[in-house]
């Protein structure tokens, strides 16, 4: 779509909104003279003709639009409105149903369908008309979709290409090709199809959502969010738009804006479970615990079969499930239709309920069942993990750091907090982020993304970490700049320092040192048994797949310690180790030690970190809003009777 046509579409929409449908029709026809088969313009003309009462031409125009883009929901909805006006409720219902099948969140189509069904008495065929025939292209696309779902990508792609030979601008075929390419991990090709669709139909809401999701899955959040902003302007009454927009904003830490989007979704679809969960998460992050509890509880009431809602409710600090709630959870577990994912979450929720009642044998039993269920659902290869970490240790020898060549900008200094999950990294970030010159940005994925993508353009087949010694000074500098470019979309402007507390960055300390030599690196360490028990008790939202088997968890902890010992040996002094138990015992002394390492002056606000109201997006969000307490240090000892095997695994570090 040319910029000229895009501007024309905006002008047409403005005229329609101003009540000047006649002028909008003239402008639309003029634009169509330049691009006769543009589906956005055709759909717009059909809608304008419908509004003006030119039903016959409106029907022809909308049917042509659907033939070109059978997965474009709005023309189906407009046809439904037209058939209702013609007193053909059967045909109207069919079109509304097709629109909702393509975009389930189309509230206006749902209202139209209800009206159509009311006029037919709820019975199909009441007006004696046979339903409209399904276009041949749509039948072929249905076949292609089924082939794609079965993994028969070549056959699916061939059907789509045949459709495009007959109609090169068939939006639905292009969308299907984008899905096929994504499934085959041909991401550049997939993005090409998605962008081609938006050039053809810049107001195609489904295509905007497709590209937004795609970019988000690739970690390109700023681009994805800009697309979601466009989608929100285009489909303000579509709850799915607000839901996805909220998810994207939540990922980049814009919790207040994300909450606003979830609330818009709930305003249109009050019982949407994902929006209720998302709102609960954002409220929790913002420190609004009571409101978070209410959102989670509401989700359990409208959709009690969703285990995730029960787990989030039960994991709120200080929350004790009632006897009635426990009965509901147990009843849900007994249903034949309970999903494996929900069963896992129910088990973790019951474990927390037992803990609140100090029934530790009962809690451990549920943790064992929940972890075993989760382990069956995730992919984790402990041997591969050990091999990869050994490769990293072999590659990053002391010689590699003798002359650090990267020349990255130093105006903003990242402070990396690495280690095992549940080892006090959130506490350290909260302490640092309470300093006037430091901004906390949470767990950022960009170091891991860079190491994964570093080999993308190499023709010699080298992969990370083996390729690192081959990188030139300019390439290392470019990688450092790339990290800062992405990370600073979270950090904004102002503070000289920002934190990145992704625990899984510990294997990449050497890489960080090479591409960001000015960065500060802190290792958050905690007692091995306390760490492993804390991980085993946590149902993580994503990743951390080493946590769901105690033996694998213990072995992973050993690999972590071995890797950190390696960094101490090859880049001595580059990493500050901070022991959680020491912070609890001597907060003031450890705060000064942290600030000295970062080159920051002491500020009392860092000792009073619990008064900082910044959003915190981790499982420890509630704890860091309270003063240091001793009880958490030894909580793991409640489970000592079940830790013999773990002790044996951890023997080298105990």
User: What would the pLDDT profile of 443-482 be if each residue is shown by its tens digit?
Assistant: 898 999 899 877 666 667 788 999 999 888 888 999 999 9
Name the average pLDDT for the chain.
87
- pLDDT tens for each residue of 98-129: 888 777 667 888 888 888 888 877 554 444 44
Q: What's the CA gap between 397 and 566, in Å, rounded?
A: 9
- Residue 310's nearest CA partner among 286, 287, 290, 333 is 333
Q: How many CA atoms lie within 13 A of 476 on its CB side?
A: 22
Residue 538 is encoded by which pair of tokens? Answer: 């946590």
Q: Which residues pair with 413 in a beta bridge?
A: 497
What are the chain's domains? Answer: 413-653 (3.40.50.300)
640 Cβ contact list (under 8 Å, min separation 6)? none
**Chain-centroid distance, C-alpha 185:** 18
Name the packing angle between helices 550-570 and 382-395 (round to 10°). Answer: 0
pTM score of the predicted model: 0.75
**Chain-centroid distance, C-alpha 144:** 28
- pLDDT tens for each residue of 536-589: 999 998 889 999 999 999 999 999 999 999 999 999 999 999 999 999 999 999
Alpha helices in 86-170 (DSSP H): 89-102, 107-119, 136-149, 153-166
**Chain-centroid distance, C-alpha 410:** 30
Picking from 38-42, 144-148, 524-528, which range would have the lowest pLDDT averaged per residue?
38-42
Residue 597 is encoded by which pair of tokens? Answer: 């390492």
Q: Provide, rounded to the nearest whole percent, the portion of the chain with pLDDT above 90.
A: 51
pLDDT at 576: 98
CB-based contact 8:32 (threshold 8 Å) = no
Q: What's the CA gap between 153 and 145, in Å, rounded?
A: 9
Confidence bin at 35 (pLDDT 50/70/90): low
pLDDT at 587: 93
pLDDT at 287: 85
pLDDT at 126: 40
Q: What's the CA gap between 520 and 513, in Å, rounded?
A: 9
- pLDDT tens for each residue of 182-194: 999 899 999 999 9
- pLDDT tens for each residue of 393-452: 999 999 999 876 677 767 899 999 999 999 999 999 999 999 999 999 888 989 998 998
DSSP 558-572: HHHHHHHHHHHHHST
pLDDT at 349: 96
Q: Are strands 520-525 and 497-500 parallel, antiparallel or unpaired?
A: unpaired
pLDDT at 404: 66
Alpha helices in 305-398 (DSSP H): 307-314, 323-333, 340-356, 360-377, 382-395
Q: What number is the average pLDDT over the span 165-169?
A: 85
Q: Which residues pair with 499 in a beta bridge?
A: 415, 440
């Amino acid at each position: 779509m040319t910029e000229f046509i895009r501007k024309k579409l905006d002008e047409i929409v403005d005229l329609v909104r101003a009540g000047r449908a006649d002028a909008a029709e003239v402008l639309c026809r003029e634009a169509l003279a330049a691009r006769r088969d543009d589906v956005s313009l055709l759909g717009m003309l059909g809608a304008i003709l419908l509004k003006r009462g030119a039903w016959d031409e409106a029907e022809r125009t909308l049917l042509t639009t659907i033939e070109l883009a059978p997965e474009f929901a709005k023309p189906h909805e407009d046809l439904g409105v037209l058939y209702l006006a013609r007193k053909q409720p059967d045909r109207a219902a069919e079109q509304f149903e097709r629109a909702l099948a393509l975009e389930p969140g189309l509230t206006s189509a749902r209202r139209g369908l209800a009206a159509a069904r009311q006029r037919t008495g709820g019975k199909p065929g009441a007006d004696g008309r046979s339903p409209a025939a399904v276009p041949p292209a749509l039948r072929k696309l249905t076949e292609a979709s089924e082939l794609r779902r079965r993994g028969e990508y070549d056959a699916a792609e061939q059907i789509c290409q045949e459709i495009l030979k007959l109609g090169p601008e068939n939006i639905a075929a292009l969308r299907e090709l984008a899905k096929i390419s994504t499934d085959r991990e041909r991401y550049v090709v997939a993005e090409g199809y998605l962008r081609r669709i938006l050039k053809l139909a810049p107001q195609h809401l489904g295509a905007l959502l497709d590209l937004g999701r795609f970019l988000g899955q690739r970690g390109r959040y700023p681009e994805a969010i800009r697309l979601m902003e466009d989608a929100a302007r285009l489909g303000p009454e579509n709850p799915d738009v607000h839901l996805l927009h909220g998810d994207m904003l939540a990922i980049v830490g814009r919790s207040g804006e994300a909450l606003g989007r979830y609330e818009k979704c709930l305003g249109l679809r009050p019982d949407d479970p994902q929006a209720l969960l998302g709102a609960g998460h954002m409220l929790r992050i913002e420190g609004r615990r009571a409101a978070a509890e209410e959102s989670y509880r509401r989700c359990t009431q409208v959709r009690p079969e969703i285990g995730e809602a029960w787990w989030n409710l039960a994991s709120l600090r200080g929350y004790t499930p009632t006897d009635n709630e426990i009965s509901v959870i147990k009843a849900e577990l007994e249903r034949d239709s309970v999903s494996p994912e929900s069963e896992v979450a129910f088990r973790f929720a019951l474990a927390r309920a037992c803990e609140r009642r100090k029934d530790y044998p009962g809690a451990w039993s549920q943790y064992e069942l929940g972890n075993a269920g989760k382990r069956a659902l995730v992919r984790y290869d402990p041997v591969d993990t050990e091999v990869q970490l050994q490769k990293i240790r072999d590659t990053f020898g002391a010689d590699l750091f003798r002359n650090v060549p990267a020349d990255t900008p130093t105006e903003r200094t990242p402070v990396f907090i690495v280690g095992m999950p549940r080892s006090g990294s959130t506490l350290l970030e909260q302490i640092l982020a309470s300093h006037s010159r430091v901004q906390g940005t949470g767990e950022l994925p960009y170091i891991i993304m860079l190491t994964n993508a570093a080999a993308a353009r190499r023709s010699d087949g080298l992969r990370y970490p083996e390729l690192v010694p081959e990188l030139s000074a300019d390439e290392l500098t470019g990688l450092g700049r790339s990290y800062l470019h992405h990370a600073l979309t979270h950090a904004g402007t102002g503070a000289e320092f920002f934190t990145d507390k992704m625990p899984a960055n510990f294997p990449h300390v050497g890489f960080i040192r090479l591409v960001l030599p000015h960065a500060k690196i802190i290792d958050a360490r905690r007692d091995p048994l306390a760490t492993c028990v804390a991980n085993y008790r946590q149902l993580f939202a994503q990743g951390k797949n080493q946590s769901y088997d105690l033996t694998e968890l213990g072995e992973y902890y050993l690999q972590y310690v071995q890797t950190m010992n390696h960094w101490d040996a090859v880049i001595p002094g580059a990493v500050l180790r901070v022991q959680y138990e020491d912070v609890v015992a001597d907060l003031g002394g450890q705060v000064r030690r942290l600030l000295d390492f970062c080159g920051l002056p002491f500020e009392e606000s860092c000792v009073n970190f619990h008064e900082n109201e910044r959003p915190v997006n981790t499982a420890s969000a509630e704890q860091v809003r309270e003063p240091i307490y001793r009880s958490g240090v030894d909580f793991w000892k409640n489970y000592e009777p079940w830790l013999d095997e773990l002790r044996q695994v951890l023997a080298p570090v105990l």
